[in-house]
Amino acid sequence: MHWLPLTVIGLVIARLLAQLGLEALNRAEVRRRAGALPPALTGVMDEATFAKAGDYTLAKSRFGSGEMIYEAVVLAVVIFSGLLPWLWARFDALAPGAAWSGALFLVATMILLGLPNLPLAWWAQFRLEARFGFNQSTLRLWITDQVKSTLLGLAIGFPLAWALLALVGWVGQWWWVWGFVLLFGFQLLMLVLYPKLILPLFNKLTPLPEGEARTRLLALSDRTGFRASAIEVMDGSKRSGHSNAFFTGFGRFRRIVLFDTLMTQLAQDELEAVLAHEIGHYRRGHIPQRLVTMALMQLGAFAAIAWLAQAAWFNTAFGLPAGTIAPTFLLFGLLGSLVTFWFSPVGNWVSRKHEYEADAFARAAMGGPAPLSGALRKLSQKNLSNLTPHPLYSAVYYSHPTLVERERALQR
**Full DSSP string of 187-204:** HHHHHHHIIIIIGGGTS-
Paired residues of 205 in beta bridges: 234
If DSSP codes are grouped into helix, strand and coil, which group holds residue 86? helix
d(CA 22, CA 171): 46
d(CA 143, CA 141): 5
- What pLDDT score was predicted for residue 93? 95
d(CA 132, CA 184): 39
Under a CB-based contact definition with an 8 Å cutoff, are residues 108 and 41 in contact? no
What is the model's pTM? 0.91
Angle at 379 between CA 374 and CA 382, to 5 degrees: 125
- What pLDDT score was predicted for residue 194? 86
d(CA 298, CA 305): 10
d(CA 263, CA 253): 23
d(CA 383, CA 132): 10
Of 213, 361, 365, nearest in space to 282 by CA: 361
For the stretch 159-199, pLDDT in tens is 999 999 999 889 988 999 999 999 999 999 988 888 888 98
pLDDT by position in tens, the chain (length 412): 478 999 999 999 999 999 999 999 999 999 998 877 778 777 788 888 889 999 999 999 999 999 999 999 999 999 999 999 999 999 999 999 899 999 999 999 999 999 999 999 999 999 999 999 999 999 999 999 999 999 999 999 999 999 999 998 899 889 999 999 999 999 999 888 888 889 899 999 888 888 888 888 888 888 888 877 678 899 988 888 888 777 776 666 677 888 888 888 889 999 999 999 989 998 999 989 999 999 999 999 999 999 999 999 999 999 999 989 999 999 999 999 999 999 999 999 999 999 999 999 999 999 999 999 999 999 999 999 998 999 999 999 999 999 999 999 998 8
Catalytic residue among 29, 92, 272, 359: 359
- What pLDDT score was predicted for residue 412? 82
d(CA 21, CA 397): 13
Under a CB-based contact definition with an 8 Å cutoff, are residues 56 and 131 in contact? no
Amino acid identity for residue 213 in this structure? A
DSSP for 39-58, please give it: GGGTTTS-HHHHHHHHHHHH
Angle at 24 between CA 18 and CA 26, to 5 degrees: 105
Under a CB-based contact definition with an 8 Å cutoff, are residues 57 and 23 in contact? no
d(CA 281, CA 275): 10
Whether 92 is a known active-site residue: answer no
Hey, how many other C-beta atoms are within 10 angstroms of the C-beta on 381? 19
For the stretch 398-407, pLDDT in tens is 999 999 999 9
Whether 359 is a known active-site residue: answer yes
Catalytic residue among 23, 129, 232, 278: 278
For the stretch 5-61, pLDDT in tens is 999 999 999 999 999 999 999 999 999 988 777 787 777 888 888 899 999 999 999
d(CA 277, CA 224): 11
- What pLDDT score was predicted for residue 76? 95
d(CA 110, CA 330): 8
Hey, how many other C-beta atoms are within 10 angstroms of the C-beta on 32? 10
How far, in Å, are 80, 84, 121, 346 from residue 116 at the CA level? Answer: 16, 15, 10, 31
239 CB-near residues (< 8 Å, 6+ apart): 135, 136, 137, 141
